Amino acid sequence: MYSIVLSCILGFLILESQHGVQSWSLNNFLMTGPKAYLTFSQSVAAGAMHGMEECRHQFLWDRWNCPESSLPMFTQNALERANRETSFVHAISSAGVMYTLTRNCSLGDFDKCGCDDTKKGDQGGEGWKWGGCSDNVNFGERVSKMFVDALVTGKDAWAVMNLHNNEAGRKAVRQTLKRTCKCHGVSGSCTTQTCWKQLSEFRVIGDFLKRKYGNGLLVDYVRGGLEKANSASEQALSPLSKKDLVYLEASPDYCRVNVSAGSMGTVGRECVRGTKKSKDEQGKWEKQSCKRLCSTCGLKVKKTKVIEKSSCNCKFHWCCSVKCDECQQEVTKLTCQT
């Protein structure tokens, strides 16, 4: 079973490499073998990308929509802003790295790393004990901190802010951990249970951090540390929490292009009308997207008919290719225009 799957994958990679794509990963795979290929850095890269995908999902209908240029790994420190959006990018990519490392550890991808069984056998509460495979968040936290925080150099306001937000991202992974249990007893009577702590879906962490972003705090850099700005107010007197997202400067006007401030403007952005989804937060913003991205930015909503090509009638041929037809469809697109 596994060897079929593996040779399918290898066959696929060889096919790909003939067209010049993926040749690096193919060579790496063949030369070092699967075991050596599985290193922390693979997970770190995958985790950071996972974080950025989630960022794009969370900001799909926002004026700032998490452009590629905002990925911390692709930005030169001096060019990076220190606003509310920067705080989100750091938190979500740091959370992504911790998440992937933790998950991979549980999956047995690394030597010397497995489930967290420090509490195994201990009574957890009324009628349940710790057992099963708890996700090893301590491992994920430690290793991700090593990789991600190392990208922040210097000791200035910018560095202190980013380290704070990286930490807030890791805290979010911990705060969203859930307890999963299994019943024991005669024919599932559930007289006793064993429970373990498990990572939530990454979407849950994305939603959680989006709310943190909404409640982000403007801070000042004072004597090597951060303090809430406008310290006159009552709330500002309470100490800064490590769980909060913090930023040092106001966001630019994302309606307009301002490259140095990290704004691409909303001209050309697509919006939608009359969607049925509106139950969740995303749906709410999607429904208001034309207003939010175009009208309130002083732009018009322009309708264009475009021919969209897509794959259809796909058939799977054993083993391993997929053959599809190309179908054309006329669709109406709405975009923001001057």
Q: Provide the minimum distance between the beta carbon of 260 and ligand NAG in the complex, in angstroms, as a whole number.
A: 6
Q: Give the closest residue to 332 by CA, choosing from 272, 267, 282, 277.
A: 272
Q: How far apart are CA 40 and CA 274, in angstroms?
A: 45
The SS3 assignment for 17 reads helix
Q: Provide the minimum distance between the beta carbon of 274 and ligand NAG in the complex, in angstroms, as a whole number.
A: 34
CB 218 within 8 A of CB 82: no
Closest to ligand NAG by CB, 132 vs 252, is 252
Longest CA pairwise span in the chain (Å): 70
Q: How far apart are CA 118 and CA 116, in angstroms?
A: 6
Closest to ligand NAG by CB, 189 vs 260, is 260
Q: Provide the minimum distance between the beta carbon of 240 and ligand NAG in the complex, in angstroms, as a whole number.
A: 24
Q: Provide the minimum distance between the beta carbon of 255 and ligand NAG in the complex, in angstroms, as a whole number.
A: 10
- What distances in angstroms separate CA 171 from CA 100, 139, 145, 200, 248, one per listed residue? 15, 14, 11, 13, 20
Closest to ligand NAG by CB, 251 vs 282, is 251
Closest to ligand NAG by CB, 29 vs 285, is 29
What pairs with residue 304 in β-bridges? 333
Q: Provide the minimum distance between the beta carbon of 252 and ligand NAG in the complex, in angstroms, as a whole number.
A: 4
**CA–centroid distance for 185 within its chain:** 40
Q: How far apart are CA 179 and CA 124, in angstroms?
A: 11
Contact positions toward ligand NAG, by CB under 6 A?
Answer: 38, 42-43, 46, 100, 104, 109, 252, 258, 260-261
Structural tokens at position 252: 């630019």
Instruction: Specify the length of the chain in residues.
Output: 338
Q: Provide the minimum distance between the beta carbon of 66 and ligand NAG in the complex, in angstroms, as a whole number.
A: 18
- What distances in angstroms separate CA 235 from CA 35, 169, 217, 230, 241, one per listed residue? 52, 23, 11, 10, 12
Q: Give the closest residue to 146 by CA, choosing from 24, 38, 44, 221.
A: 44
Closest to ligand NAG by CB, 60 vs 250, is 250
Closest to ligand NAG by CB, 70 vs 100, is 100
Q: Provide the minimum distance between the beta carbon of 246 and ligand NAG in the complex, in angstroms, as a whole number.
A: 18
Closest to ligand NAG by CB, 2 vs 318, is 2
